[in-house]
Amino acid sequence: DIGLPSELAPLLDGAPLVALGRTLPTVRFSGAGATAVAQLVAVDTANYSALLSASGGFAAATAALNRVAAADAQAEPSGPIPAIAVGFGSQRLLTGDVVNVSGVGTGVEFEVVGSVASMPGVATRSGALVVDLGHFASVANDRFADPTWAVLSGDRAAEAAAVELVTDLDGVAMTSRYAVLDQLVADPLTSWTRRGLLAAGAISLSFAIVAVAASVVVAQAASRHDFAMLAILGTSKTQRRRVAMLEHVPAVAVSAVVGVVVAVSTTRLLEASLGLDAFSGDVADVALNVGWTNLTIAAGLMVLAAFAAARVVVVVRDGALPEVLRRGAERDEQ
């Protein structure tokens, strides 16, 4: 329950993104027809929301913090403090409930303005109420204004400076996500999983291209007949090219969509096996950022392969003058 030492001021002032917070020991809240023990976490909502938004993968937590900030701006000075319920079941706290928390001041009330299943940096074993640090300190007690922890975002140079500074301070603990990242990168499971996904992507793309080419070859005879008839009927080369594209692109597009869905599903299934919860504590959830750019490029290459194959087929078919003449002679005989 001791605030951050003043020696950390240069580190906090120099970080590009920093969020301050204070976690109180487990407190007892009552109201809304229930009494329970939970944590009370006060955070700098604006900065913490910006930090989570920049990190990505925490849309629900970011929206919840923004909801608290918006409610704070409209709250009455003597009214309840807006709070987010984290880790509570729907039967415990609902939006709009007003509760009292013992040990933080007389007559201090909290109004639940939203709820989320988890929030980075917030333990959810018994549930927690998350409020704005400045609002809470001004209403409850000034001694709660001092933060007890900070979350910093920076490069490896900032990490080295933080380690050097924290090492000489008693009672200060630091957790580096870079160290966890290095362990995950070096882990054989991570390495082989990455190689397997890359190999699967290359094989899938190759198979798609081969499938398009094979379909062109297999359907060549029938297609020559069809396009010869279209040429006799007076269709232009552009019109025949569009027909060829319509013939091949839908199947490839469907395959691309199915491939993207399978890739995203595989990523989600692997999430629990990679131990990524270490990035935000032992009790917080971590969402993987899907490589949408790579998936989009792969899907685009498949569609381009279909267009290229269609264009080649049109060129070949348009050059089959004997086929056109033969089909024309057959029609004259009929």
pLDDT level of residue 32 (50, 70, 90 thresholds): low
The answer to whether residues 157 and 194 belong to one domain is no
H-run or E-run covering 25: strand 17-31
pTM here? 0.55
With helix as H, strand as E and coil as C, how does 127-165 read?
CEEEEEHHHHHHHCCHHHHCCCEEEEECCHHHHHHHHHH
Last residue of a domain, one of 113, 139, 174: 174
The answer to whether residues 19 and 108 belong to one domain is yes
56 domain-assigned: yes
Q: What is the pLDDT of residues 95-130, one digit of tens each?
A: 788 887 776 666 678 888 888 887 877 766 677 888
The answer to whether residues 233 and 273 belong to one domain is yes
The answer to whether residues 25 and 166 belong to one domain is yes
The answer to whether residues 37 and 160 belong to one domain is yes
Q: What is the pLDDT of residues 165-219, one digit of tens each?
A: 777 777 787 877 787 778 777 888 777 877 887 787 777 777 766 776 676 666 6
Last residue of a domain, one of 174, 199, 221: 174
271 has pLDDT over 50: yes
The answer to whether residues 48 and 160 belong to one domain is yes
Residues 6+ apart with CB under 8 A from 244: 227, 310, 311, 313, 314, 317
The answer to whether residues 21 and 162 belong to one domain is yes
CA–CA distances in Å: residue 325 to residues 224, 315, 334? 12, 17, 14
326 domain-assigned: yes
213 domain-assigned: yes
The answer to whether residues 24 and 141 belong to one domain is yes
1 domain-assigned: no
Quote the Cα angle for 4-7-10, to 5°: 105
90 has pLDDT over 70: no
The answer to whether residues 158 and 210 belong to one domain is no
DSSP per residue over 205-272, as a string?
HHHHHHHHHHHHHHTHHHHHHHHHHHHHTT--HHHHHHHHHHHHHHHHHHHHHHHHHHHHHHHHHHHG
Last residue of a domain, one of 110, 141, 174: 174
Classify residue 266 as exposed, middle or buried by CB count within 10 Å of its CB (0-12, 13-18, 19+): middle
Average pLDDT (243-252) is 70
287 domain-assigned: yes
- Domain assignment of residue 318, given as a range: 183-333
The answer to whether residues 158 and 194 belong to one domain is no
Dist CA 119 CA 238 (whole Å): 56
Paired tokens of 248: 């091949």
pLDDT at 282: 46
pLDDT at 284: 47
pLDDT at 330: 57
275 has pLDDT over 50: yes
The answer to whether residues 166 and 187 belong to one domain is no
257 domain-assigned: yes
CA–CA distances in Å: residue 323 to residues 23, 64, 184, 240, 271? 81, 68, 62, 15, 56
Percent of the chain with pLDDT over 90: 0
pLDDT level of residue 288 (50, 70, 90 thresholds): low
Q: What is the pLDDT of residues 142-157, one digit of tens each?
A: 666 678 778 887 778 7
pLDDT at 328: 54
Percent of the chain with pLDDT over 70: 60
96 domain-assigned: yes
20 has pLDDT over 60: yes
Average pLDDT (86-102) is 73
Nearest to 248 by CA among 223, 275, 282, 283: 223
pLDDT at 308: 67
Average pLDDT (255-273) is 70
The answer to whether residues 141 and 274 belong to one domain is no
Question: How many domains, in total, are found in the chain?
Answer: 2
Average pLDDT (78-94) is 76
